[in-house]
Structure 1
């Protein structure tokens, strides 16, 4: 929502709010699934909100998108097929397609998010929607997962918070379907919110993952527009990707020739070092 003083106030948490000053409103529309708004802020540039909650900004989206894509892709080391559930702004596809992948399938429930992201947030997708390796599917992610033949090396669940359309993507049933859709040695990563503010979100995912995968944990990244501390990304695999040595990881990153704003081999390894309050949620 936006109050009378020109601030966009997010009340995702019942006893905590954050606000961004609005210099202009570029888009404001109600779709079948949610209210989409694009505002401008002096620090973060263009900001996308869904039902009043900040989803992505021009200035800091690189942190979130780099860490959700490059951590599993470099850890895997030989991924060819990637599935992104959500991610309608195109940022996750943008980062994934920097790798020599054969195919990236992106399943987004709301065509309106894709359409207006192309028009109002083109810098976030940066041409990803025009890449011939991208297969864009407008469908419910849970329904798609039930019907897919699978064989994905990496699955990235770039969901909203577990309310509204995104709620089904946090269920044990959905995670079970996602595991079935992985190729041998495949990796599932999930957006799990800010554990200091949303501990049950991470705890629930980790409980489900521990029943499904041989290797389960989470890793962290600090994204300025997501208030309350570092954000957690769930990690589940039956493979040995997390045992990739720091030297092998560094060699893979160097060989890629890619340049990053946040990710590096050192940050990759450090992201799995969890503070006590987060580690206890996994226990």
Structure 2
């Protein structure tokens, strides 16, 4: 047996088998947390390329290395497209990364974050503090431990932007992809409000995007999606659903986006106004997923 083979046998890998005919492996350099909660199995481990990685039932949720792409694109696109968002609702997002980016906008006065699993929040503070960067203690943040679908059904509040930072539509996350949930979300938006959703990798999970867009087309003046490539969400670019009560938010000019971004006064590692506009340019195979 070669030395390389011996070394490989000593290595520990997490295999993500989210898709029927495709998987990815991530090497575990050090297991930092491994625990079963009421809802799912949580792991945090160190990886040489991506830093700390959070998995739920061995499906990658976020990483220290590439989370900025996902979090920036799900927050800055709707907030800057809206132009005057003051109240933001995040469904999910227990690691605090989405709140981190939303609260970078000084014009955002209040963020409500609804997370079903208090355990995710607690261990994220301890094991993934670089994701929230103090956002979970920001006085503008209202953390609600509750089922996101139930909260959306019962809330009487109105929001300028709703961000659905859900897991994939299996287990606890399944209800967040239903027409009923989207209907309640539409009611909770202001008259020019925007909802954005995590809709998986359309090359692998096209039905997720089709189902969301079908609901959005019935509920909103403007329904579409945009794309970003996140290395650990394997299988191609990820799709983010877009629904707005305004027919003009998505078509905001590059000049206006540049002015709004400059006024926001912070730097990003992925988002730019040019990327914002280009993200809505869809390849043919994605366009074919529209109902």
Q: In 2, Cα distance between the equivalents of 1:280 and 1:4?
A: 45
The aligned residue for residue 113 of structure 2 is 106
Q: In 1, Cα distance between the equivalents of 2:87 and 2:237?
A: 29
Tell me if the contact between 1:150 and 1:180 (Cα under 8 Å) persists in the aligned partners: no
Tell me if the contact between 1:86 and 1:159 (Cα under 8 Å) persists in the aligned partners: yes
- Gap runs ≥5 in structure 1: none
The aligned residue for residue 234 of structure 1 is 241
Q: Which runs of structure 2 are paired with 1:1-283 in the superposition (5 Å)?
A: 5-100=11-106, 101-239=108-246, 240-283=248-291
Cα distance, 1:238 vs structure 2: 1.5
- Gap runs ≥5 in structure 2: 1-8
Aligned length: 281
RMSD over aligned Cα atoms: 1.0
Cα separation, partners in 2 of 1:180 and 1:17, compared to 1, 3 Å:
same
Q: In 2, Cα distance between the equivalents of 1:92 and 1:274?
A: 24
Cα distance, 1:5 vs structure 2: 4.0
Q: What are the superposed Cα offsets for residues 154-202 of structure 1, whole Å, 9 maximum, x if unpaired?
A: 0000000000000000000000000000011000000000000000010
Cα distance, 1:257 vs structure 2: 1.3
In terms of Rg, which structure is larger?
Answer: 2
Secondary structure of the corresponding residue to residue 196 of structure 1:
helix
Q: In 2, Cα distance between the equivalents of 1:55 and 1:222?
A: 15
Q: What are the superposed Cα offsets for residues 4-26 of structure 1, whole Å, 9 maximum, x if unpaired?
A: 74011000001111000110100
Q: What are the superposed Cα offsets for residues 181-233 of structure 1, whole Å, 9 maximum, x if unpaired?
A: 00110000000000000000101001111111110000000000011100000
Q: In 2, Cα distance between the equivalents of 1:68 and 1:234?
A: 10
Q: What are the superposed Cα offsets for residues 80-116 of structure 1, whole Å, 9 maximum, x if unpaired?
A: 0000000000000000000121100000000000000
